[in-house]
Amino acid sequence: MKLRKVPAAAAVALALSLALTACGSDGGGSGTDDGKKITVGIKFDQPGIGLKTPDGTYEGFDVDVARYVAGQLGYKPSDIVWKEAKSADRETLLQRGDVDFIVASYSINDERRKKVDFAGPYLLAHQDVLVRADDDSITKPSDLNHKKLCSVTGSTSAQNIRTKLAPQAQLQEYGGYSECLTGLENKTVDALTTDDSILAGYAAQKSFEGKFKLAGFRLSNENYGIGVRKGDTELKNKINAALEKMVADGSWKKAVEANLGPAGYRNEPPPKIGVVVG
């Protein structure tokens, strides 16, 4: 009798072991093909940079950068969960752990560095102003005095102009650049300011073709970085390595040309990792 009980117990144990293993394989563990996801913050309303299209897909230079970086970290495009990262929300998203990293035309500055860390920079842009194509009243920064100047809540662009160049500009802050663009088209605002890369993307849209123009002011240097949680040096270093590879293998140039080239955007050479141009 004892000889019969031993194999029976072993059989039960083996069955339980197999059942638990099967449950584990269906439960989304840490394997590379086992439900691994990464959450990335991008802009949803910036053509050429970060845009959620009506059919629910995502496109733009930042999106291509994010996909490349995620790929170097071991994630397939289908593993990426995209989350909207509005300008005013970026630090909070990182601090709460709502996203793993942010690629959202995120300019590196000292104030933001107090709250988050940055990989990169991966693009050097310049602040400019977008005006209506038929408006010849704004030809230099000081012409923005007494004009209604639009930017988004949380952006430093409009404050830069009011502080340094046109202290009497009437600042209008909206939730997104699309709202500013509608105001510019409807003449409820006179100018929209942000980075030239973003403005070029808007101006190049077919629905706005011929309606707007860049003023051509290079008002600041904007070093785009990839935001990570404060103190996450390991992830920061991995992202920097991915960015260096993206430049070296030609993917960076291809992404710039595909997303910003049609607008006639003249990009700067890829910046050196860790070097912020003042």
pLDDT at 160: 84
Confidence class for position 238, pLDDT limits 50, 70, 90 = very high
Buried b (16+ CB within 10 A) or exposed e, 76-95: eeebbebbbbbbebbbebbe
125-214 has the same fold as 38-124+222-263: yes
Which token pair is 55? 């059919």
- Residue 238 contacts residue 73 (beta carbons within 8 Å): yes
pLDDT digits (tens, 9 = 90+) for 64-105: 999 999 999 999 999 999 999 999 999 999 999 999 999 999
Alpha carbons 45 and 51: distance in angstroms, whole number:
5
Write down the pLDDT at residue 104: 97
Domain residue spans in the chain?
38-124+222-263, 125-214
In angstroms, rounded to a whole number, what is the distance separating the alpha carbons of residues 157 and 128? 9
What is the rounded CA–CA span in Å between residue 203 and residue 2?
Answer: 84
Non-local CB neighbours of 218 within 8 Å, separated by 6+ positions: 126, 127, 128, 196
Instruction: Give the neighbor-by-neighbor strand order of the sheet with 58-59.
Output: 45-46, 50-52, 58-59
Query: pLDDT (tens digit, 9 = 90+) per residue, 2-56?
Result: 444 444 444 434 343 433 333 333 332 333 456 799 999 999 988 999 999 999 9
pLDDT, tens digit, 9 for 90 and up, residues 211-224: 998 888 989 899 99
Q: What is the value of pTM for the model shown?
A: 0.75
Confidence of residue 259 (pLDDT cuts 50, 70, 90): confident
- Residue 235, CA distances (Å) to 43, 75, 82 in order: 21, 14, 18
56, with CB counted inside 10 A (0-12, 13-18, 19+), is exposed
Cα–Cα distance for residue pair 172/93, rounded to 1 Å? 25
pLDDT band at 231 (very low <50, low <70, confident <90, very high): very high
- What was the pLDDT predicted at 214? 85
Query: For domain 38-124+222-263, is the CATH number 3.40.190.10?
Result: yes
264: confidence class by pLDDT, cuts 50, 70, 90: low
pLDDT mean across residues, the chain: 86
Residue 17 confidence (pLDDT): 41
Tens digits of residue pLDDT in 154-209: 777 888 898 889 999 999 999 888 899 899 999 999 999 988 998 988 877 778 87
For residues 134 and 212, give the distance between their C-alpha atoms in angstroms, rounded to a whole number: 8
**Model pLDDT for residues 125-148, shown as the tens digit of each residue:** 999 999 999 999 999 999 999 999
**What's the distance, CA 189 to chain centroid?**
26
Q: Which CATH class is domain 125-214?
A: alpha beta
Specify which residues 218 forms β-bridges with.
Answer: none
